[in-house]
Chains A and B, each alone.
Chain A
Amino acid sequence: MDDALKAQLEAERRGRKQLEAAAQARNDGSADAAPALGEIKYDTDIYGSGDKYADYDTSIDVGADHVPQKDRFSITAPRELIEELQSAGDEAEDTFKEIQRMRGINRVIADRESDYHKRRHARQLPGGSDDGVGYAEAMRRVQLENEQAELLDKIKKAQESDRGSEGARGSEADRGGEEQPRRRWDDETPVHPTSGPAKRNRWDQTPADVHVAETPRRSRWDETPRDASGAFGETPRGVGGALGETPKRTRSRWDETPVMVGATAGFGATPARYAGLETPSAREIAANASKQQDGQSAVVDARNMYQTDEELDGLLPSEGYEIVEPPAAYMPIRTPARKLMATPAPMQASEGFHIQEETRHPEIDLPKEVPGVGALPFFKQEDMQFFGKLLDGQNEDDLDTAEKRERQVLRLLLKIKNGAQPMRKAAMRQISERAREFGAAAIFNQVLPLLMAPSLEDQERHLLVKVIDRAMLRLGDLVRPFVHKILVVIEPMLIDEDRYARAEGCEIISNLSKAAGLPAMISTMRPDIDHADEYVRNTTARALSVVASALGVPALLPFLKAVCRSKKSWHARQTGIRVVRQIAILVRSGILPHLRGLVDCIGHGLEDEHQAVRTATALALAALAEAAAPYGIESFDAVLKPLWLGIRKHRSKGLAAFLKAIGFIIPLMDVEYANHYTREVMVILVREFQSPDEYMKNIVLKVVKQCVSTPGVPVQYINDEVLPEYFRNFWVRRMALERRQYYQVVETTVELASKVGGAEIIGRIVLHLKDESAAYRNMVMEAISRIIAGLGALDIEGRLEELLMDGVLYAFQEQAGEGPTVLSGFGVVVNGLGVRAKPYLQQITSALLWRLNNQSPQIRQQAADLVARVAPVMRACGEDELMGRVSTMLYEYLGEEYPEVLGSILGGLKAIVNVIGMADMQPPIGDLLPRLTPILKNRHEKVQENCIDLVGRIADRGAEFVSAREWMRNCFSLLDLLRANKKAIRRAAVNTFGYIAKAIGPQDVLATLLNNLKVQERQNRVCTTVAIAIVAETCAPFTVLPALMNEYRVPELNVQNGVLKSFSFLFEYIGDMGRDYVNAVTPLLEDALVDRDLVHRQQAASVIKHMALGVAGLNNEGPVLHLLNFLWPNIFETSPHSICAVLEAIESCRLCLGPGRIMQYTLQGLFHPARKTREVYWRIYNMMYLASQPALVAFYPRIEDDGANTYRRYELDYVI
């Protein structure tokens, strides 16, 4: 019996080995076999397998994608293409995901990636380590790769031209990118020359494009292939392509099938065959998951499950629907696990029909607990493929060391990825501490595939990247074999949309380059520099720039020079130039020492034969000039001529890049040169004012701004040559609609105004204030208010002034709550006019009063806000009576129910009180304050803040107008405000206590506050202690100290601690005034320092800290030394807060008593037999030593010589 079992086991084992060998053979054999992510091993038998770039998209028209890079990471494609994609997306989206996204649940990175970013999935981890593959070998491979791409490209073009006049677009793709209409030339992404009609093909969908385009568009039904081979045959590319592809296909249940079949065919075996034998091979699931188009998390959630027929019956009405036969060619999915992942059920509002049973059997059971790891918060379906190994229940003792180690790393990774925080931290520490023990292979072979997983989320990526970072730190140059793999995984992070991800990527690559060294980095990246895929080149350029910033620009400069001058391939030149650009962006002014070298390195690119290289060069020069500003013009001498000649030769995209470079270089120039070159370029700029291209518009505006701001350009010239065209083209309604242009136009206009004077510019646009488009009025208002805020309104006179006020009033009355622009603009204009606004005030006030009475709360709020802004002007114009009317009106509206409005009304009142003074206030303060006391209880933040400000103001300046009893009532309301969330409110409240105490004497206020120490809430108590300290400060400490010390006798922990805390704040606030009170509080502190309660001692320590600091040098050493004796035993505290407080207190004592004394204390323990004691004492010694080392020379103990060593410092004994 036993033997039979053994034999069976043996057979199975053999079978598995065969399967593995077969898989290996497939991997080794042909480019067909996609080396799957999960399978990467550090084994030598895999590297050198196949073509590591086999899966790059080879169909991208490389001739067309020479797109220089910019800082933006979005893609912009021709509009029709975008719309197409969008509509395709709408259909493809399933509702469930949509809902998740709406709720902000989805954090899977792959889901929010743009198409360009998705191309990272096409890059694969090279098999094995790169060690075995020689550099020459790698280069050869890439060359082959590129040639292949070129060939494919040619074939494609040939096919296109065969098809003849398919339309203008097809032929444009042939001609190359620069001629493409409306393409943003400096987008990160090449926009794809779409081939043919391109009916919603994903542009990057491989060579298949051509073929698919030829076939007529199919309906969903007939998209199901008749059989597996048919599906396969449809993809002209190798099966490897199946992996990263089809991300955005229109999905439905039916067309999910072909993908599955295709995949299965690709790997040559149905997974079903393995089913019994092993856990689903990682490769299949990987393929499967990436096919899922978005790697949606397939945690099996009830809502996410497959719907049974009964459920569907329950959901759908029985009438009016009929069950359609599936088409004959439809093959149902056989594997249930995939079924689960394939089609998430839509969110169902099924409650009306059917109550779901809770006990639905899950189709696969995901473990909550992994052996050796413990309970995890979650374990996703996707985790199975990486961590499934841990669940196979094998006995660890049977494994060899390498495998055991691998499992250990896996376990740690799982803990880091899925564990709760404490587990994660422990695992992270372990993995970094034992990194050398595990070895680079064990760690990176597991982490890197995980990072490539399509279902990766932000947090997970962050953690895994951290693992890499830590491991790298420990491994040092042992990472070298993995440089390429790490780069493949990390490079995409450099162009992530999230800036933290970018920063993380930078960090890793810079650490990597420090660990691996420059030669290793260069030889790893060299093959990618002229790679056929633009994506690879782009990310490589960024990575190289990070290397340069990590290892120093000079180290990389010779290499860059060679790359930028590459004769062989313009791709290399372009990449080299991009590297320079990225270096400038990264290192900023750090490039200055190497500026000339960098400019020389790329300068020749301006006259390159390839448009893309020329554009990239211009952009790189712009970045260099921007980074170097305001220095370094001499380095650009060599490129000035080609630049200026270039603007005459180029059109559209290329021109924009050249203009951009010029715009950044002109500000560096001397006055005369700037003037000369500005005139040269201005002709072109003025011509391009009319350009319909938005990007060109933005560039032109920017360059105009830069040119105008240089001192050399005369005003007359701008007036005559620039302004008329500028206003004709840019001050039009259309400009207000797009945010970026809006800002650019306003910016440039403000710059122009500072050159030619505000009146000139305002005169040209003031009439637009009455435009019918609200957005345009806003834009005009913003420009005017920024001009007046910057330049004042002195030059605005006569008719223009009238027009301006008229326009502003009109805009104000017409505004429809579109933000604060108009309101603040009004304030700026009125304040700018100052006294000259007097004739308009009557009109403004009546508008205000009318609007305060308006039905719409928004209008009332705007009016009240405006009061706050014009109050100073009204005062300046002597219109006190008008103001009185307004404030009475505001006072009457204090019953307002909308809190936003009430807050604004209070703000208006505050502004009026501020300018008019307490005595002249209408209504009198005595009437106003009692109305405010109940409002203090309002919970709305804006109301609270404005109210407390107003009350504080009154308490500060006009306390005598209000009875003491009213103030006391106010005090009680103020206590509530100490609970406020906003710090400004709490601070204002605390300060108000001080003012009130000053006004009515501290006794009553103090009694209220001391009572408040008994409350439970901590924040409230803390604020109370601060208030007590402030009261003590404003009314002199002696008025408060007796009551406070008396309060310490209350046998209640909170109260005593509160008292101590008050002392701490008090001594902090009163500083050297504290010298008179040290003796008084010493007994109390003594008591606190020997209390059993830790917090007592901690607070007492912080009191001593502030006290000793305050009285340093004021002859109070006696009591401080006395307190130090009580303080010293606390140095062994371990709680972070208390030890901190104690050490800080010792520091202050050192200041007060001198380091010699503290030194005497430390000498007792520096060589104590107990290590823990020594540690603490050395810490104090170090602290003291760093702070006052020279002073210690006189205090070191006298130590006798000892055998061979002389320890005596005999010079100290010299007496003359």
Chain B
Amino acid sequence: MDKFGMHNQTEHMFARYAGTGHADTTRHQWLTSQHRDTLAHYVADDSLAMYIAMAEGESVARVKSGMLQRMRQPCGPPPAKDAA
């Protein structure tokens, strides 16, 4: 089907990075990667982390560590195949 060879290549290239998607990406996968991006962003940005820590009444380190933990399954387990 592929009339444009270049997309074969670009797609191949895209596929090397986490967080990119393709036509068969499920909603859960997509949202999971969004959450991971978001959490990574919070952890990497000290002032954001501080802000959240203040809001939660926790220490910054605890908040960061909690986020790192959450990154494993930020949205919970993937839904069963048939449900998706």
Contact A1211 B42 (CB under 8 A): yes
Residues of the A chain whose Cβ atoms lie less than 8 Å from the Cβ of B35: 1207, 1209
Q: List 25 A-B contacts (CB under 8 A).
A: A1135-B3, A1136-B3, A1166-B25, A1178-B23, A1178-B25, A1179-B14, A1181-B20, A1181-B21, A1182-B20, A1182-B21, A1183-B14, A1185-B19, A1189-B19, A1189-B37, A1190-B41, A1203-B79, A1204-B76, A1204-B79, A1205-B75, A1206-B75, A1206-B76, A1207-B35, A1209-B34, A1214-B52, A1216-B54
The answer to whether the Cβ of B7 comes within 8 Å of any Cβ in the partner chain is yes
Q: Hey, which bits of chain A sit against chain B, CB under 8 A?
A: 1134-1136, 1139-1140, 1166-1167, 1171, 1174-1175, 1178-1179, 1181-1183, 1185-1186, 1189-1190, 1192-1193, 1196, 1199, 1203-1207, 1209, 1211, 1214-1216
The docked-state distance in angstroms from the alpha carbon of A322 to that of B77 is: 99
The docked-state distance in angstroms from the alpha carbon of A1189 to that of B75 is: 19
The docked-state distance in angstroms from the alpha carbon of A1140 to that of B20 is: 20
The docked-state distance in angstroms from the alpha carbon of A1183 to that of B15 is: 11
Residues of the A chain whose Cβ atoms lie less than 8 Å from the Cβ of B74: 1206
Q: How many of B's residues come within 8 Å of A, CB to CB?
A: 35
Residue B51 contacts which of A1186, A1205, A1216 (CB distance < 8 angstroms)? A1216
Task: Across the interface, name the chain B residue whose C-beta is closest to A1214.
Answer: B55
CB distance from B26 to the nearest CB of A (A): 9
Contact A1193 B6 (CB under 8 A): no
The docked-state distance in angstroms from the alpha carbon of A1041 to that of B44 is: 49
CB distance from B51 to the nearest CB of A (A): 7
Given A1204-B77, A1205-B75, A1186–B20 Cβ distance below 8 Å? yes
The docked-state distance in angstroms from the alpha carbon of A1209 to that of B35 is: 7
Task: Across the interface, name the chain A residue whose C-beta is closest to B42.
Answer: A1211
Most chain B CB within 10 A, of A1179, A1196, A1205, is at A1205
Contact with A along B51-70 (1 / 0, CB 8 A): 11011100000000000000
CB distance from A1145 to the nearest CB of B (A): 16
Residues of the B chain whose Cβ atoms lie less than 8 Å from the Cβ of A1205: 28, 31, 75-77, 79
Contact A1136 B4 (CB under 8 A): yes
Residue B31 contacts which of A1174, A1178, A1189, A1207 (CB distance < 8 angstroms)? A1207
Known interface pairs A1179-B7, A1207-B31; 11 further A-B residue pairs with C-beta atoms within 8 A, sorted by A's residue number: A1135-B3, A1140-B6, A1166-B25, A1174-B23, A1178-B21, A1178-B22, A1178-B23, A1178-B25, A1192-B37, A1196-B37, A1205-B28
Most chain A CB within 10 A, of B6, B22, B23, B75, is at B23
Residue B11 contacts which of A1136, A1179, A1196 (CB distance < 8 angstroms)? A1179
The docked-state distance in angstroms from the alpha carbon of A1178 to that of B77 is: 24
Residues of the B chain whose Cβ atoms lie less than 8 Å from the Cβ of A1203: 79
Residues of the A chain whose Cβ atoms lie less than 8 Å from the Cβ of B4: 1134-1136, 1139
Residue A1186 contacts which of B17, B30, B37 (CB distance < 8 angstroms)? B17
The answer to whether the Cβ of B81 comes within 8 Å of any Cβ in the partner chain is no
Residues of the A chain whose Cβ atoms lie less than 8 Å from the Cβ of B52: 1211, 1214
Task: Across the interface, name the chain A residue whose C-beta is closest to B83.
Answer: A1203
The docked-state distance in angstroms from the alpha carbon of A1196 to that of B30 is: 11
Contact A1171 B37 (CB under 8 A): no
Contact B20 A1185 (CB under 8 A): yes
Task: Across the interface, name the chain A residue whose C-beta is closest to B44.
Answer: A1190
Contact A1186 B6 (CB under 8 A): no
Contact A1134 B3 (CB under 8 A): yes
The answer to whether the Cβ of B38 comes within 8 Å of any Cβ in the partner chain is yes
CB distance from B43 to the nearest CB of A (A): 11
Most chain A CB within 10 A, of B5, B30, B54, is at B30
Task: Across the interface, name the chain B residue whose C-beta is closest to A1199.
Answer: B31
Residues of the B chain whose Cβ atoms lie less than 8 Å from the Cβ of A1189: 19, 37
Task: Across the interface, name the chain B residue whose C-beta is closest to A1140.
Answer: B6
Residues of the A chain whose Cβ atoms lie less than 8 Å from the Cβ of B77: 1204-1205
Residues of the B chain whose Cβ atoms lie less than 8 Å from the Cβ of A1211: 38, 42, 52, 55
Contact B34 A1196 (CB under 8 A): yes
Residues of the B chain whose Cβ atoms lie less than 8 Å from the Cβ of A1182: 14, 20-21
The docked-state distance in angstroms from the alpha carbon of A1205 to that of B30 is: 13
Contact A1193 B25 (CB under 8 A): no
Contact A1179 B10 (CB under 8 A): yes
Most chain A CB within 10 A, of B5, B17, B34, is at B34
CB distance from B4 to the nearest CB of A (A): 4
Residues of the A chain whose Cβ atoms lie less than 8 Å from the Cβ of B28: 1205
The docked-state distance in angstroms from the alpha carbon of A1214 to that of B63 is: 14
Residues of the B chain whose Cβ atoms lie less than 8 Å from the Cβ of A1209: 34-35, 38
